[in-house]
Structure 1
Amino acid sequence: MTTATATDSTPDHPATLESERALDEFLTAHDRVLVDFYTEGCTLCASIEPVIGNVARAHDDLAVATINPRDDPALIDRFAITSAPTLVLFEDGEERGRLADGFQGGDAIDAFLDGASDE
């Protein structure tokens, strides 16, 4: 994964963010964002990484980012991260849905994205 700034266009790969500020900038720069909150050493997080990449490539209207909340602990409280991986969908900077049920395949994430957008 490559480290990205908030203004990077990420239609075909996830951006790796390193701070709360970078996440805020990314959310401001994109209308629809899926954020993967992961932790180092988490086998489920490592397993979902290629799935997240496929999701990024499959959705032209979606910017995808990954961030380790342990790198900026304020994220843990702000987004109530209690397990990893946690996927959070944002639209126009507002949380629209959350998927925190461990490893998810591409079909499950697509269904989550479609369902969260319909709310």
Structure 2
Amino acid sequence: MSIMHLNEENFDKEVLESGKPVLVDFFATWCGPCKMLAPVLEEIAAENPDFSIGKVDVDESTNLAGRYGVMSVPTLIFFKGGEIHKKMVGVRPKEELVALFK
């Protein structure tokens, strides 16, 4: 599965109402560490088509960033059953991100 582009219109449906766990990357296009993390997330999505991964551009969706207290990018939030299961700031290794879904 490819990575979902999330925004204020589709976030609740795609993340909070999803029947599966979802990893959401809050990022910015100007952020260097976000650019480092992007290919890692693409690789995870390509290798694990059953995983749900989404990205929120904090400059386009400022209300979502505020709603989840995103102060730094990248911020990764793992949702299970519509609830926050884990919140991480900064680039994380691929293995740690894949392990969230296990």
TM bin, normalised by shorter chain, reads 0.7 to 0.9
Q: What's the TM-score once normalised by structure 2's chain length?
A: 0.85
Name the aligned partner's letter for residue 66 of structure 1: K
Q: How does 1:48-67 map to 2 (within 5 A)?
A: 48-67=37-56
Instruction: Give structure 1 regions of 4+ aligned residues with deviation exceeding 4 angstroms.
Output: none
Deviation, 1:38, is 0.1
Whose strand fraction is larger, Structure 1's or Structure 2's? 2
**Which one scores higher on RCO, CA 8 angstroms, separation ≥ 6?**
2
Residue equivalent to 1:4: none
Separation of aligned partners in 2, 1:92 and 1:71? 25
Gaps of 5+ in 1: 1-10
Contact 1:45 1:85 in 2 (8 A): yes
- How many equivalent residue pairs? 101
Q: How does 1:1-119 map to 2 (within 5 A)?
A: 11=1, 13-17=2-6, 19-27=7-15, 28-100=17-89, 102-111=90-99, 113=100
Gaps of 5+ in 2: none
Cα deviation per residue 1:35-61 (whole Å; 9 max; x = unaligned)?
Answer: 000011101001100101122233344
- Overall identity of the aligned pairs, in %: 26
Whose helix fraction is larger, Structure 1's or Structure 2's? 1
Separation of aligned partners in 1, 2:65 and 2:4? 19
Cα RMSD of the aligned pairs, angstroms, is 1.7
